[in-house]
Amino acid sequence: MSPTSALASWPWRMISFLFWYAKAFVLANLFVTLDVLRPRKRMKMAPAIIAVPAASTSDTEWTLISCLITLTPGTLTLSISREHQILYVHGMFVASRESLVREIQEMEDRMLKALRRNPGDLSRPLRVPDVVPVDQPPGGELE
């Protein structure tokens, strides 16, 4: 994408992200509400905590994507690992690992395209790295 055309499509990307997020937000609210009101035996809940590879780089992007995920009812950011580029997301309706990862990554793609003047490279590590606990934890989560 050339610089000028990227600049021209930037406002459009922002607006389309806002509308897309509003739609996703309302739909998620509807699903969660229906499931809460459903009799206990027929609840469709399948919660899981999934490590989602992320493409965010700057502080702003990490903060925004974790806030947006939490703001959507039914999904919740539990923790992030910037070192491994992983978001730990708790989902309420997780059919499979792939479905939640796809959902979160679509949101992130759209957010990054709306946030960056030139979206650039949105590729993520293909394999989820195995995070091995260390004896000496880093000083803060963000280091």
Partner 1 sequence: MDIHDFLHGAGLVFIFLGIGTIIVAGIGLFRLPDLYLRASAVGTSAGLGVASIVIGVLMMDFSWLNLAKAVVAMIAQLLTSAVGSMAIARSGYLNNSLPAEITHTDDLLKTRRDQHADSPDQSTT
Residues that bind partner 1 (CB under 8 A): 25, 29, 32-33, 36-37, 40, 45-51, 66-68, 70-79, 81, 88, 90, 92, 94, 97, 128, 130-133, 135, 137
CB of 6 to partner 1, least distance (A): 27
Token reading at 2:
């050339």
Question: Using the 8-state DSSP alphabet, how is residue 12 labeled?
Answer: H
- Closest distance between partner 1 and the C-beta of residue 118, in Å? 27
Give dist(CA 78, CA 63) in Å, integer. 13
Quote the least distance from Cβ 130 to partner 1, whole Å: 7
Please, which residue, 56 or 66, has the CB nearer to partner 1? 66
Identify which of 99, 102, 47 has the alpha carbon closest to the alpha carbon of residue 78.
47
Nearer to partner 1, 2 or 37 (CB): 37
Q: Checking DSSP bridges between strand 48-53 and strand 75-81, what pairing results, if any?
A: unpaired
Q: Which is nearer to partner 1, 7 or 19 (CB)?
A: 19
Question: How many other C-beta atoms are found inside a 10 Å radius of the C-beta of residue 68?
Answer: 20
Q: How far is the CB of 70 from partner 1 (least distance, A)?
A: 4
Q: Which residue's CB is nearer to partner 1, number 54 or number 92?
A: 92
Query: Any residues with CB less than 8 A from the CB of 13 and at least 6 apart, and which?
Result: 113, 114
Contact between 92 and 100 under an 8 Å Cβ cutoff? The reply is no
